Structure 1
């Protein structure tokens, strides 16, 4: 039986965000108002219910998607695993190499860092430009959301634990990447204060079940700032593909439902162009991954809370 394409989203519902199914441009709530984390904890069960309801025409009363405020599809991930330096074209731009220069695959495997889960915001949400920061940068990424607990996976079965895919914009504070002087050489690069600022992980607009994305290794990716294309590439530029990333992570940790793996960003970041204009208040970023979705966010000046 052919399963009609649908996606899952989270929406505001007067309290905690609730999971919903988006089908035929209409949003339908799920029975009991579960969170996306709850849905992911029983991914086969929930998707089976959803597909049965779609097939039987009993999704209930829906609301046009244009009239619904979507939050991040997974507002509270268990973990945010971020893959860095994982695109060949991005490596070339950062190293000042020719477009056809070969990029060696590191023998020790992909490079990962953790981003605070509290950085997540949804589509159309504001991203705060912190006071004193001048180099706020953009990074479109394909993200995989885990739906099955997994450990020590071989690459050929690594995608079996993926529930679905979404878009992430790994907004980065380049001003704070390098500490000078550093107390010790290993402390020269500061991934936390480059990547850990509040609101710097826009995610969305929804979660596309993996069954509707046959080849995550060959998807077009773009990011625009105020309508100007900054990044224009494809996931085929990954140095370590998603299978390799998942297998690598699963050898180190137990992957859990609700974990998110952001797979890296391609060429076109502000840091790759010494003449680049970085993000300013009022700018609009539009990150898009083919077949997954379009994620819009605006930049606002950080609001400082008064002591009280």
Structure 2
């Protein structure tokens, strides 16, 4: 009977009221700090949003924290399709599509090659693999500014300077070290027994990669995707250095031209709307896949 009662209690679970969380000094400090930090980072975003929804006369009244008395989306329309960026007055739309043409091939090539690199360096180690990996890691910590001029010479000699193709290759090269590190450490955290069992069954390099590694690697692919999208989309330095024609400038360079324009009245509402439009793509991707990003980091992206 006693054993039966014990089994019944174990199956039904604990009874009684749930314990209440203690509202102590430590919790107050932790949540208070988090709230202050969140407000610190959210306040500039709030100012940008409310300013972008105001007309210019209301902005000139001087209260930047006040919500708009009359909401208008005209600054957003002007920032997208009418604002002048140098000799062109078609807003950010041209730069948006340039950034898309830069982002998609850069993202696909860098993530695909880095995933194969990481897989090979973790599961198919060859003679000199550690030296090769060390060279890649050195590249991850070299400041971009040091490499600007040598890459200008390389692109010029290859006939790619000033083109979107040249800029794509630059983003692929600079994204390779950190993404290879992420994939190598993630694949190294996968039980080696799976790899050995597949080898015993006769699976080769690509069969193991596509049938075993890829189905298990969605979180780390999302980590790599978010890092690459954020870095490539928000890049200004490479865009202004390696693109010679204003017609090919990415969105960030055109945003700089809008904000720093000295012609006419300073339209802060248009500037804020243009800034929000430029940052919209990375924000959407992050919020859509944020949980997978955390899973990827926790599952081995920073291990090894």
Q: Larger radius of gyration, structure 1 or 2?
A: 2
For the criterion TM > 0.5, the same-fold answer is no
* Normalised TM-score (structure 1): 0.22
Higher helix share: 2
RCO comparison, higher one (Cα < 8 Å, 6+): 2
* Normalised TM-score (structure 2): 0.23
